Structure 1
Amino acid sequence: MQTQPTAAQLKLLEPLISLPRLAPYVAATGTPTAGMELYLWNVRLSAAFGEVIALAEIILRNAMAEQLATAYGDTWYARADLFDDRTMAGFKTTWRNITLPADPATGRPAQKTLRAVPAGKIVAESTFGCWVNLLDKGGTRGDGPYKKNVDYDSTLWRKALHKAFPNSGGRRTTVFTTASHVRSLRNRVAHHEPLIDGVPLPGQADRRGRTRRLTLSDAHAEILRLVEYVDKDVAAWLDRNSRVPDLLRTRP
């Protein structure tokens, strides 16, 4: 059971958290004490969202990697002909950040080759954003007279990725939109940002020109929807076990 800090303990936390960080919560509640209570609720909610997102992310990338390997081989991520520059930059960053254990014979790091680096390591260490980008329509590769358009619909989606999401209706844009919403929530949770006003969606605006936001209930539903595209039973289980709904009902 969650124990609520006393008023004295809340007061001690204030300078440690910092007034600028607490400002949105104080503005929403009207008093420093109530603001701190709301801040701590936001921390617990972020942790609960993180649990669900963590499972959704692993399910997403494993389902996608399986189909890409089936269509393009185990080292599909090294197929420069498949990807736009944005995706290649993401995989290159993953590759640079991978470290291998030292060679027992020399004491030096083992040579980093496609054979030496397990495919699972690339899958696990590539960012969530990199996986979401694979669901986009594709950008360009090269520059100047060598610049070419890369169409992910006709390559990645139709030849491989649609099979990873059997319950999506078969439309790449459907999966991409949902995955993008989950990425926006994930980034906000990962950086300990306020969730009290919903989840802002970068680059999207309402009729008044304000940044469009997902409600927290809708954001939770988007995570479950992304998992449902892969497996309905797993999504239903995740829904039953998520702590998010209870926390939303108990907002201070």
Structure 2
Amino acid sequence: MLDAGSYTGKKPRRIRCDYEVLWRGVLDKAFPGGRALARAENQHRNREYAFAVVSRGNELRNRVAHHEPLINGFPLPGQRVRVTAREVHEDTMHLAAMLDRDLHTFLSYRSRVREILDAKP
């Protein structure tokens, strides 16, 4: 629901799903910490900003769920860019800060992911 939306249904009942309406009405409130983070990065906190952060984490989740190797990173769909697990971990921490400041703090102190990535197992 963070992407641009598309069309659904077949003619004559084909309708446009405009997720921007959902963003402005409800979803923007799901990311209360996003405003400060976006401002710090000279970005606008909007649906596209949230989608960029969430989609990379979702792609990593899909790769892990299918037991694909992450050693040399993994390609993002439709792009010629390889993303490392470390970059997506940073995105995940960024997303945690967008969702809740306390969640980000908790994960920063409790998670061992950064430590494991540094060890390069």
Please, what TM-score do these two structures have when normalized by structure 1?
A: 0.42
Corresponding residue number in structure 2 for 1:156: 22
Alpha-carbon distance in 1 for matches of 2:5, 2:118 = 40
Structure whose residues are more often helix by fraction: 1
Aligned with 1:186 (options 50, 53, 61):
61
- Match in the other structure for 2:38: none
Question: What is the CA-CA distance between 1:226 and the residue it aligns to?
Answer: 1.1
Query: Following the alignment from structure 1 to structure 2, what is the Cα–Cα distance between the partners of residues 243 and 165?
Result: 24
Q: Could you tell me how far apart the structure 2 residues matched to 1:226 and 1:168 are?
A: 8
Q: Match of 1:140, as an amino acid?
A: Y
Alignment partner for residue 32 of structure 2, among 158, 162, 166? 166
Among 89, 93, 96, the residue aligned to 1:227: 96
1:218-250 CA distance string (max 9 Å, x none): 110011111111112211220222221111222
Runs of 4+ residues over 2 Å off in structure 1:
none
Answer yes or no: is the 8 Å Cα contact 2:70–2:84 preserved in 1: no
Number of matched residues? 112
Q: Deviations over 1:101-153 (max 9, x none)?
A: xxxxxxxxxxxxxxxxxxxxxxxxxxxxxxxxx11111112222332222110
CA 1:199/1:235 → structure 2, altered by over 3 Å: closer, same or farther?
A: farther
CA contact (8 A) 2:93 2:104 kept: yes
TM-score normalised over the length of structure 2:
0.84
Q: Tell me, what secondary structure is at the counterpart of 1:144?
A: coil
Aligned residues of 1:184 and 1:199 also touching (Cα < 8 A): no
Residue of structure 1 aligned with 2:86, choices 214, 217, 235: 217
CA distance, structure 2, for counterparts of residue 161 and residue 222 of structure 1: 19
> 1:199, 1:219 within 8 Å by CA — same for their partners in 2?
no
Task: Give the whole-Å Cα distance in 2 for the aligned partners of 1:199 and 1:232.
Answer: 29
8 A contact 2:60–2:85 mirrored in 1 = no
Question: 3-state DSSP class of the match of 1:138?
Answer: coil
Of all paired residues, the percent bearing the same amino acid is 43
> What is the deviation of 1:201?
0.8
Report the structure number with the largest CA radius of gyration: 1
- Per the alignment, residue 106 of structure 2 pairs with 237
Kept in 2, the 8 Å contact 1:184–1:200? The answer is no
Alpha-carbon separation, structure 2, partners of 1:227 and 1:239: 10
Partner Cα distance (1:225, 1:199) in 2: 19
- The residue number in structure 1 matching 2:78 is 203
Aligned to 1:175: 50
Instruction: Give distance in 2, aligned partners of 1:189 and 1:196.
Output: 12
Deviation readout 1:190-241 (Å, 9 max, x if unpaired): 1221110113211112xxxxxx121222110011111111112211220222
Residue 137 of structure 1 contacts residue 151 of structure 1 at CA under 8 Å; is this kept in 2?
yes
CA RMSD across the alignment:
1.4
Query: Which consecutive unaligned segments of at least 5 residues does structure 2 have?
Result: 36-44
Who is 2:2 aligned against?
Answer: 135
In 1, the alpha carbon distance for the partners of 2:108 and 2:87 equals 13
- Stretches of structure 1 that go unaligned for 5 or more consecutive residues are 1-133, 206-211
Alignment-mate amino acid for residue 248 of structure 1 = L
